[in-house]
């Protein structure tokens, strides 16, 4: 009987000691810091933490985390987390709220990569579930792409990542995304997302389906007319690139004039910082005959650089290059060079041809200036040299300045 009492006393003492130890670990700052440090050492990736404070029961703060992945390096600053530690006994890290001041992701250049792991989605194989009810990242940088006010709810663990909702802002655009990724690699990825750029009256929505090696993408862009995109994202986690085709029936281009692009077909390629486009469409300006257009350009969230374009119009060709900004309204300039343009199509009383070089300077969609650097016209056997400028303000003709020379005759106008 005495042995039973002694054994029971020892068990009770052990329980008391264990409970006291656990209470010290989760309720004291030193104990919480020790537990977190041990947990980081057991992680399947290299994690360095600095400036740990707070307790597991009342909330933890970490000054910095540096995480080394096979294909990227992650720097996290100013982390504050509140959670329910009791659920840890059920294999769940239940986070009520997490706040990160700044998170930076730098992809390791391909030439510096070590031998990749057999499973590129190994980081999904956590032996427990981490559920995030509300996450907030003030600043998120992935390579050169910078996001702000990122909010997240979701879960990760046991071979699965679920993003219930992710929202953020980049260069004036708002983004919303949700999806699920299951391992092992190449995995199974399904997601949907949408975005809006109010200053340019642009928006879009799309679906993603596939894996991290090849992910099918279907996207609908509204500007506000509809443009459809179909393509694939390759090598999502090692050097993502997008390839596909954009098509549309009719899109009205910005401006006071009724200008449409019909039957568009563009090949698209992108590294997700810039996008290259090349293709053709048919341009229709009000009551003028439709003319074919070929185009090659590079665009980002700030604007578009037109490397070259060619319009087969007015019996000749119009070519040029330029750049337009659209992150804060539409502005920019475009070179317009004409060769063998039929003047009889402009005015039936002046049959002939004209070659010219000009620059369109766009202040807004209804305020712009066309500067004719030089023009040579051959009309009824006579040659005419001219230059000048025409200005539109709020969609109306505001000024005309011109100088013309025909033989010994000179003409100037300033209206």
Band of the pLDDT at 23, cuts 50, 70, 90? Answer: very low
Asked if pLDDT for residue 256 goes beyond 90, the answer is no
Strands (DSSP E) found in 271-366? 275-285, 291-299, 303-313, 316-325, 331-342, 352-364
- Mean pLDDT taken over the chain: 82
Taking only the tens place, the pLDDT of each residue in 43-58 is 556 777 788 777 665 6
Pairing of strands 92-107, 129-142: parallel
- In the block, residue with structure tokens 């620059």: 359
CA atoms 187, 68, 165, 84: torsion sign: positive
Predicted model pTM: 0.75
Structure tokens at 272: 């997700």
Band of the pLDDT at 361, cuts 50, 70, 90? Answer: very high
Poorest-pLDDT segment among 8-12, 73-77, 335-339, 398-402: 8-12
Asked if pLDDT for residue 396 goes beyond 80, the answer is yes
pLDDT confidence of residue 34: 54
Inter-residue contact 172 to 303 (CB < 8 Å)? no
pLDDT confidence of residue 366: 83
Q: Which of 296, 239, 299 lies closest to 271 in space, CA to CA?
A: 239
What does the pLDDT average to over 228-248?
Answer: 92
CA atoms 188, 237, 127, 32: torsion sign: negative
**Cα(312)–Cα(315) distance, rounded to whole angstroms?**
7
Inter-residue contact 103 to 74 (CB < 8 Å)? yes
pLDDT confidence of residue 298: 96
Band of the pLDDT at 254, cuts 50, 70, 90? Answer: low
Cα Rg of the chain (Å, integer): 32
- Residue % of the chain over a pLDDT of 70: 84
Band of the pLDDT at 17, cuts 50, 70, 90? Answer: very low
Band of the pLDDT at 11, cuts 50, 70, 90? Answer: very low
Inter-residue contact 213 to 234 (CB < 8 Å)? yes
Poorest-pLDDT segment among 193-207, 354-368, 398-412: 398-412
What does the pLDDT average to over 141-149?
Answer: 85
pLDDT confidence of residue 22: 36
**Cα(138)–Cα(341) distance, rounded to whole angstroms?**
55
**Cα(192)–Cα(402) distance, rounded to whole angstroms?**
55
Inter-residue contact 189 to 207 (CB < 8 Å)? no
- CA 249, distance to chain mean position in Å, is 25
**Cα(170)–Cα(147) distance, rounded to whole angstroms?**
5
Inter-residue contact 213 to 184 (CB < 8 Å)? no
Band of the pLDDT at 13, cuts 50, 70, 90? Answer: very low
**Cα(270)–Cα(290) distance, rounded to whole angstroms?**
30
Band of the pLDDT at 360, cuts 50, 70, 90? Answer: very high
**Would you tell me how many other CB atoms lie within 10 Å of the CB of residue 67?**
19
Taking only the tens place, the pLDDT of each residue in 165-197 is 999 998 889 999 999 999 898 999 999 999 998
Band of the pLDDT at 239, cuts 50, 70, 90? Answer: confident
What does the pLDDT average to over 22-43?
Answer: 50
Asked if pLDDT for residue 19 goes beyond 80, the answer is no
- In the block, residue with structure tokens 């004209």: 354
Inter-residue contact 205 to 220 (CB < 8 Å)? yes
Pairing of strands 367-379, 352-364: antiparallel
Q: Which helix (H) or strand (E) holds 150?
A: strand 145-157
What does the pLDDT average to over 34-41?
Answer: 56
Asked if pLDDT for residue 37 goes beyond 70, the answer is no
pLDDT confidence of residue 326: 83
Poorest-pLDDT segment among 10-19, 319-328, 382-391: 10-19
Burial class (CB in 10 A: 0-12, 13-18, 19+), 209: middle
Inter-residue contact 165 to 176 (CB < 8 Å)? yes
């Amino acid at each position: 009987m005495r042995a039973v009492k002694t054994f029971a006393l020892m068990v009770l003492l052990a329980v008391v000691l264990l409970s006291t130890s656990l209470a010290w670990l989760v309720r004291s700052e030193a104990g919480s810091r020790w537990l977190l440090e041990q947990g980081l050492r057991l992680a399947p990736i290299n994690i360095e933490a600095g400036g740990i404070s707070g307790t597991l029961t009342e909330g933890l703060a970490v000054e910095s985390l540096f995480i080394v992945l096979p294909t990227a390096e992650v720097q996290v600053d100013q982390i504050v987390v509140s959670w329910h530690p009791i659920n840890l006994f059920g294999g769940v890290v239940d986070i009520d709220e997490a706040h990160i001041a700044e998170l930076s992701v730098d992809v390791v250049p391909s030439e510096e990569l070590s031998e990749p792991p057999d499973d590129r989605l190994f980081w999904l194989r956590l032996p427990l579930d981490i559920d995030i009810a509300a996450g907030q990242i003030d600043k998120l940088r992935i390579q050169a792409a910078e996001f702000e006010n990122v909010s997240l709810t979701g879960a990760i663990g046991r071979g699965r990542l679920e993003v219930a909702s992710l929202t953020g802002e980049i260069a004036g655009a708002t983004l919303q995304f949700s999806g699920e990724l299951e391992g092992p690699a190449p995995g199974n990825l399904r997601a949907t997302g949408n975005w809006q750029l109010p200053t340019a009256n642009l928006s879009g929505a799309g679906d993603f389906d596939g894996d991290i090696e090849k992910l099918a993408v279907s996207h609908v862009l509204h500007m506000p007319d509809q443009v459809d995109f179909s393509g694939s994202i390759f090598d999502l986690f090692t050097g993502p690139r997008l390839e596909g085709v954009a098509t549309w029936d009719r899109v009205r281009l910005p401006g006071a004039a009724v200008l449409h692009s019909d039957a568009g077909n563009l090949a698209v390629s992108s590294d997700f910082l810039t996008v290259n486009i090349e293709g053709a469409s048919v341009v229709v300006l009000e009551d003028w005959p439709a003319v074919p257009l070929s185009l090659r350009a590079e665009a980002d969230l700030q604007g578009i650089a037109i490397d070259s374009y060619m319009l087969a119009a007015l019996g000749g060709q119009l070519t040029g290059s330029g750049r337009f900004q659209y992150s804060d309204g539409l502005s920019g300039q475009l070179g317009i060079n004409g060769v063998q343009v039929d003047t009889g199509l402009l005015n039936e009383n002046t049959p002939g041809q004209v070659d010219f070089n000009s620059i369109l300077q766009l202040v807004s969609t209804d305020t712009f200036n066309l500067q004719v650097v030089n023009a040579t016209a051959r009309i009824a056997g006579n040659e005419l040299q001219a230059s000048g400028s025409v200005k539109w303000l709020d969609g109306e003709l505001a000024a005309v300045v011109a100088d013309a020379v025909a033989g010994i005759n000179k003409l100037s106008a300033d209206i």
